[in-house]
Chain A
Amino acid sequence: MTFRLKRRTVLRGMLGGTAVTVGLPILEAMLNNHGDAFAGGEPLPLRFLCYYWADGVNIARYEPEATGANWTLSEQMAPLLPVKDYVSVITGLRNLCQDQITHHEGMTAFNGYSFDYDGGLNTNAGGPTIDQLIADAIGEGITPVRAVHVRVSKRESTDGDGGTTVLAMSHRGTPGNLTAQVPQANPQDVWQTLFGNFMPPVDDRAQRTRVLDAVRDDVTRLKMRLGEIDNQRLDAHLTAIGELEDKITALPPECALPGLPAETNDDVGGEEPISAVTAAMAELIAYAFRCDVTRVGTFLFKKFVSATVFDEINATNMHHSASHNGPDDSNYRAGVIYSMEKLAEVLQIFAGDGTVENLLDSTIVYASTDCSTGQSHSINRQPIILAGTGRGYLVHPGIHYQATAWNGSHNQPNGAGNMSDVLLTCLRAFDPAAASVGGGAPMSNTPLDDVLA
């Protein structure tokens, strides 16, 4: 199956120092009389980005004081100033994960399921994540790449924490039968995933699909000898083979393709080039969105309990370790602001410079973390940021929705409601008939309408 081409003109731009061309904003002449779809009836592309930063916030310095439309940025949200009109901040909602072993339960913010406990500090994701539900809602074959998954910091969780919850933030499938979508850390690999197949040195796509057909036959034969769990694994393998074939045979988009980025995310003098990688990843995703190579992405800034040190701001401790020194630890405070700066930079790259399509008009960005107060791993007051309007779906300018006022305690934070409501709000932008998100206690069937336009 090939994806449907969209009519685009091209405009020169820059990516990673390489001259490139990108699609122009959709022109009125291309739209129907209402301006809400292409002339051919296809809906305008709606995009979704899921952003994760780790180890929580300092509630006192993060949550804005004013609520509603007249909110102002807090100390730790200040970096979002350039894109504030596109941002809504949601505070005070509870994470209803049924169990807690520190940090793992926070990933419920991305799927609405409690984790499956697997002994020690090991947990597996309890259900599919919001990005995968949205990719399902968009449908197969609409774009050459179903979704792209990137990470910035390469540092892994130190010994102890394990399971698929730690492995990836995105999980595809159904509860009990999930495939972790392992994020890519090297921008050149991400480029290959998004654009590499459109530029083969030799056009042997027919032979490559023939090869994959033969591989598929082998998978099918092997399945007959195995049990349910391994059959599920091979089904995931088969699905991937089919999608790879679609990718190989997909026609290139009409926009010119970007050059290979120079950034490889190798340490420089033992330090991670976090800013450069953040920018390179955001540029790649933005380019892929504008070219309609994909409409869904996840952006894992840093894993929880990872050994990441924010060297660029001269941090003298791992961010996770700093979080346990207390909400006012200087390294921790600076690290949260730095995390917000990187989110802001991603959003600014999405907005563009006026010469390219402003993706914040067509994208919903859902950003969250794994706890409220990092020191105590509290999950009672989930920090959530929504950005973008999603083609007029979300309120603009953004608001501060506060489920309940903060009680002033870091160790006993209070909260109300269910944070999964926000996930359902996001999903309904892509699937208005979606009845619920998640399962068990964190399940939601009541979207948060307060943030809608």
Chain B
Amino acid sequence: MLRRTPRTPPLSRPSCGNDSGMPWLVWAALALAAPGCKGDDANADNDGDAGTADGTADDDADGGSGTEGDTDTDTDTDTEGDTAGIEIEPAPGGIRKLIQREYVASIELLLGPEAAAVADPPADQPQEGFDAVGASILSLDITAVEQYETSARAVADAAVANKSTLASHVPCVSGSPDASCYDEVAAVLGRLAYRRPLQQVEIDTLVAVALDGQEFGEGDFDSGLKYMLSVMLQTPSFLYVVEVGEPLEDLGFRKLTQLELVTRMSFFLLGRTPAPALLDKAEAGELATTAQIRAEAEAMVGSTGARQAMNGFFDEYLRLRNLPTTSKDAELFPLYNETLAESMRQESLLLVNEVLWEDDLPYQELFTADYTFVNDALAELYGIASPGGNFARVQWPAAQNRAGYLSQASFLTYQSGSLRNSPTKRGRFVQQSVLCNEIPPPPPDVNPSLPEIPPDATLREILDQHKDQEGCTCHQSTDPIGFAFENYDAIGAFRTTENGQPIDASGNVDGLGQWQNAAEFAAVLAEDPRLSTCLVQNLIRGQIGHKETSGETDAILALDTAFVEAGYRVRDLLVEFPLSPLFRYVDEPK
């Protein structure tokens, strides 16, 4: 049974200065992970909301009306099973701009690798840590619109110079086409670019531009083709994913059409616009039932495109892409340079690849792996024997107490300062991005002055004094976790002393556990239920493009349950996503 969640008031702003009772971030996390929420029909029955739909919210005959040019006939709504009993107030529908890698990958599908090679869209502007969130809420300024025009012109030039991919979609462009081919390109390629059939007025507009361009080019077909492609690549119908759905009157929210669903699936799982065959299935109404959607999702997750999409996601999520512009003091860290930074990035991506694709291991392995991947430069950094040549899998030295991503140089380097490591930054990343706990801002009247520090004090001793000062409670949520990585300096090299004093990497945090070193912390983290839930939340942010709402909590927990039942296999979680009501439904367009 699908139910609309009663609206809940927004969470009030946390106050950092109030350290009485349970910290806000713990409260927030527990609120999300509270037991007994999943499938709790009693709760739903108490909501007083008469707008419940009996399992098949999809039973309304949505004949595809209301969406321009959309002939989607979605006649079924088999939501029993995977979505049964889930309360949902979906996130608003609307538009999300393609992020850079989606734009480039989509152009490659439409127009070929030569065209993709010159695609140069404006830089993404992340919000909430992810480009897709920024792409959902930010407006474009003229600089960005101009860059889209410049990119479209370059792509169009390359596409007409290398027409093999375009010809695979629209064969008439080969040889010596006449002007009637413009109609075919507009209809066929337009459908792929806009992810829906075009209205006649849209086809007419594209053809008119093409004919004008052909005349400008003194009759050259390709001249007209180029300007037509330039229109397609700049229209919002290409640049933005449009997700407005069709209304479900009983529930007050909307269900994605099959074309919108397959588009969301393709961008989520493959990082690009849907292939023609997927659009065909959607238009034929073959993505209506749970079984049909699951089968398609499994096929997508089994393809190489999914690896590339998840590579992009983890590159972003784990901040790996930021490494090449991360500075370190050259005298203190002579090993560090751009090449080493790029190696760090690759090391983490190789671990992701191993866990998700090569071995299909539980997600926790990303944080507990007793091995890593090194080349010569990384082996030197870690102080271990080089396997020789390019990257190879090696065991972590037992004495270094390392485990998983949080022991890799990428994390330890990026979440540090240029001079020294930062328990605060490291702890903050774990809290905010690995456990999805929100850390409140510092109070305005905080006194950041440090007390008198003995010259041989360790960083931990300094920060311990800092957090004990009045008004400095914010660090209590970050530093104790960050101290777990004190055995690793600002570029991830192992150390046992600091300032001549022995390192203390132990910790004991209420609601989390206790540990003696980073490897033990990783084991504690692996047992924490927030770890898997947070991946679900980050996938919503990074791959769908919004920060999860309170109305999605039940659906998030249901996905998490499926994740748990699948042995924390990320691939299985990815397959579950398109079946979730948070994926298939939207609220009124924002």
Interface residues of A (CB under 8 A from B): 99-102, 117, 119-122, 146, 149, 154-156, 158-160, 162-164, 167, 172, 178-182, 184, 192-193, 204, 206-208, 210-212, 214-215, 217-219, 221-222, 225-230, 232-234, 236-237, 239-241, 243-244, 247, 267, 269-271, 307, 309, 311, 316-318, 321, 324, 326, 375-377, 411
Contacts and interface: CB of A to CB of B under 8 A. Distances in A.
Contacts of A206: 216
Contacts of B461: none
A222 B448 CA distance: 50
Given A99-B444, A247-B146, 9 more contacts: A101-B442, A121-B439, A122-B127, A159-B429, A179-B138, A184-B143, A211-B209, A240-B142, A240-B146
B125 A182 contact: yes
Given A180-B125, A240-B141, A321-B417, A159 B447 contact: no
A411 B213 CA distance: 66
B92 interface: yes
Contact of A318 (B146, B330, B418, B448): B418
Nearest to A146: B142
A342 B209 CA distance: 48
Given A207-B212, A214-B205, A219-B236, A244 B142 contact: yes
20 contacts: A102-B444, A120-B440, A121-B441, A159-B129, A160-B432, A207-B227, A211-B149, A211-B209, A212-B149, A222-B236, A225-B589, A227-B94, A230-B95, A233-B139, A243-B142, A307-B325, A307-B327, A309-B418, A321-B417, A321-B418
Interface string B316-335: 00010010011111111000
A221 B441 contact: no
Interface of B: 13, 67-68, 92, 94-95, 122-123, 125-129, 134, 137-146, 149-150, 153, 202, 205-206, 208-209, 212-213, 216, 227, 230-231, 234-237, 240, 242, 244, 319, 322, 325-332, 336-338, 415, 417-419, 425, 428-429, 432-433, 438-442, 444, 446-449, 588-590
Contact of B94 (A117, A155, A208, A226): A226
B140 A233 contact: yes
A83 B138 CA distance: 39
Contact of B448 (A181, A208, A241, A324): A324
A375 B449 contact: yes
A239 B139 CA distance: 11
B447 A193 contact: no
Contact of A237 (B139, B237, B419, B442): B139
A270 B323 CA distance: 11
CB-CB nearest 3 A-B residue pairs: A100-B444, A101-B441, A236-B139
A237 B239 CA distance: 11
A269 B440 CA distance: 37
B231 A162 contact: no
B202 A218 contact: yes
A415 B446 CA distance: 19
Contacts of A234: 95, 236
A311 B418 CA distance: 11
A182 B143 contact: yes
Contacts of B449: 326, 375-376, 411
Contacts of A117: 13
- Most chain A C-beta atoms within 10 Å of own C-beta, residue among B142, B202, B205: B142
Given A218-B237, A219-B236, A267 B325 contact: yes
A154 B322 CA distance: 11
Nearest to A160: B428
A316 to B, nearest CB: 5
A317 B418 contact: yes
Grouping DSSP codes into helix (H, G, I), strand (E, B) and loop, the A interface class, with mixed when no group exceeds half, is: mixed
A246 to B, nearest CB: 10
B216 A204 contact: yes
A230 B590 CA distance: 6
Given A227-B92, A244-B145, A271-B327, A215 B216 contact: no
Contacts of B588: 227
Contact of A244 (B146, B325, B438): B146
B244 A179 contact: no
B158 to A, nearest CB: 15
Given A159-B433, A307-B326, A307-B327, A182 B144 contact: yes
Contacts of B438: 119-120
A326 B417 CA distance: 17
A210 to B, nearest CB: 6
A151 B442 CA distance: 28
A309 B208 CA distance: 53
A288 B189 CA distance: 41
A375 B448 contact: yes
A309 B442 CA distance: 24
Contacts of B327: 155, 270-271, 307, 309, 311, 318
Contacts of B129: 159, 162
Contacts of B235: 214-215, 218-219
B371 to A, nearest CB: 27
A343 to B, nearest CB: 23
A121 B129 CA distance: 12
A236 B143 CA distance: 12
Contact of A193 (B94, B143, B236, B331): B143
Contacts of B95: 222, 226, 230, 233-234
A162 B425 CA distance: 15
Contacts of A247: 146
A54 to B, nearest CB: 16
B101 to A, nearest CB: 18
A317 B417 contact: yes
Contacts of A411: 447, 449
Contacts of A179: 138-141
B141 A181 contact: yes
A117 to B, nearest CB: 7
Contact of A270 (B212, B337, B447, B448): B337
Given A218-B236, A230-B95, A210 B441 contact: no
